[in-house]
Amino acid sequence: MLKINNLHVKLEEEDKQILKGLSLEVPAGQVHAIMGPNGSGKSTLSYVLSGRDGYEVTEGEATMDGEDLLEMEPEERAAAGLFLAFQYPVEIPGVGNMTFLRTAVNAQRKARGQEEISSGEFLKAIRAKAAELQIDAEMLKRPVNVGFSGGEKKRNEILQMAMLEPRMCIMDETDSGLDVDAMRLVADGVNALRSPDRSFLVITHYQRLLNHIQPDVVHIMSNGRIVKTGGPDLALQVEDEGYGDLLAEAG
Ligand X SMILES: Nc1ncnc2c1ncn2[C@@H]1O[C@H](COP(=O)(O)OP(=O)(O)OP(=O)(O)O)[C@@H](O)[C@H]1O
Binding residues (CB under 8 A) for other proteins: these are: 50-54, 73-75, 77-79, 83-84, 86, 89-90, 92-95, 100-101, 103-105, 107-108, 111, 143, 160, 164
Q: Which is nearer to other proteins, 77 or 155 (CB)?
A: 77
Instruction: Based on the shown chain and the rule CB under 5 A, indicate whether residue 43 belongs to the binding site for Mg ion.
Output: yes
* Alpha carbons 36 and 101: distance in angstroms, whole number: 32
Site pattern 196..215 for ligand X (x: CB under 6 A): --------------------
Contact 63, 247 (CB under 8 A): no
Q: Which partner from the list other proteins, ligand X, Mg ion, none does 44 bind, CB cut-off 5 to 8 Å by kind?
A: ligand X
Q: Which partner from the list ligand X, Mg ion, other proteins, none does 244 bind, CB cut-off 5 to 8 Å by kind?
A: none
Q: Which partner from the list Mg ion, other proteins, ligand X, none does 170 bind, CB cut-off 5 to 8 Å by kind?
A: none
Contacts of 236 (CB under 8 A, 6+ apart): 207
Q: Where are the alpha helices (DSSP H) in 148-232?
A: 150-164, 180-193, 207-212
Q: H/E element holding 55?
A: strand 55-64
Q: Which partner from the list ligand X, other proteins, Mg ion, none does 51 bind, CB cut-off 5 to 8 Å by kind?
A: other proteins
Contact 105, 117 (CB under 8 A): yes
For residue 115, count CB atoms less than 10 angstroms from its CB and return exposed for 0-12, middle for 13-18, buried for 19 or more.
Answer: exposed
* Alpha carbons 81 and 193: distance in angstroms, whole number: 13
Q: Which is nearer to ligand X, 54 or 230 (CB)?
A: 54
* Alpha carbons 91 and 152: distance in angstroms, whole number: 12
Q: Which partner from the list ligand X, other proteins, Mg ion, none does 189 bind, CB cut-off 5 to 8 Å by kind?
A: none
Site pattern 52..81 for ligand X (x: CB under 6 A): --x---------------------------
Taking the CB of residue 46, how many other CB atoms lie within 10 A of it? 21
* Alpha carbons 189 and 213: distance in angstroms, whole number: 10
Q: Which of 4, 9, 35, 42 binds ligand X (CB under 6 A)?
A: 42
Binding segment for ligand X among 25-33, 42-50, 109-117, 230-238 (CB under 6 A)? Answer: 42-50
Instruction: Based on the shown chain and the rule CB under 6 A, indicate whether residue 237 belongs to the binding site for ligand X.
Output: no
Q: What are phi and psi of 203, to 5 degrees?
A: -90, 125
Instruction: Based on the shown chain and the rule CB under 6 A, indicate whether residue 41 belongs to the binding site for ligand X.
Output: yes
Per CB under 5 A, residues contacting Mg ion are 42-43, 87
Per CB under 6 A, residues contacting ligand X are 11, 18, 36, 38-44, 54, 87
